[in-house]
Amino acid sequence: MVQKMALEEHFLAPGYEDYWRATVGNVDPKHAANLLAQLTDFGEQRLAAMDGAGIAHAVLSIAGPGVQSERDPPTATRVARAANDFLASEIQKRPDRYSGFAHLAVQDPRGAAAELERCMRELKFCGAMINGHTFGQYLDHPSLYAFWERAEALGAPIYIHPTDPVAPSPALEGVAGLRRATWEWGFETGSHALRLVFSGHFDRFPRAEVILGHLGETLPFLLWRFDSRAKLYGIKLAKAPSDYIKQNIVVTTSGMCSAEPLNCSLAALGQDRVMFAADYPFESAQEAGEFLDHVKLAEPLRADIAFNNAAKYFGLPTSS
Q: What is the mean pLDDT of residues 94-109?
A: 97
State the average pLDDT over residues 281-299.
98
CB neighbour list of residue 35: distance below 8 Å, 6 or more residues apart: 24, 27, 281, 282
Distance from C-alpha of 209 to C-alpha of 148, rounded to nearest angstrom: 10
Q: In this predicted structure, what is the pLDDT of residue 26?
A: 76
pLDDT at 114: 98
265-288, pLDDT tens digit by residue?
Answer: 999 999 999 999 999 999 999 999
The answer for 185, left when phi > 0, alpha when psi is -120 to 50, beta otherwise, is alpha
Structural domains for the chain: 4-314 (3.20.20.140)
Residue 259 scores a pLDDT above 90: yes
Express as a percent the part of the chain with pLDDT over 70.
99
| Lowest-confidence pick of 42-46, 68-72, 178-182, 247-251 | 178-182
Portion of the chain with pLDDT greater than 90, in percent: 92
Instruction: Say how many residues make up the chain.
Output: 320
pLDDT score for 27: 78
Q: Residue 318: is its pLDDT beyond 80?
A: no
β 158-160/210-212 pair status = parallel
Q: How far is CA 220 from CA 208, 241, 242, 295, in A?
A: 19, 11, 9, 19
Q: Are 16 and 92 in contact (CB under 8 A)?
A: no
- How large is the greatest C-alpha to C-alpha distance in the chain, in angstroms? 55
pLDDT in tens, 201-224: 999 999 999 999 999 999 999 999
**Alpha-carbon torsion (117, 123, 126, 131), positive or negative:** negative
The answer, yes or no, to whether residue 320 has pLDDT greater than 60, is: no
The pLDDT value recorded for residue 22 is 84
Annotated active-site residue in 203, 279, 293, 304:
279
279 as an active site residue: the answer is: yes
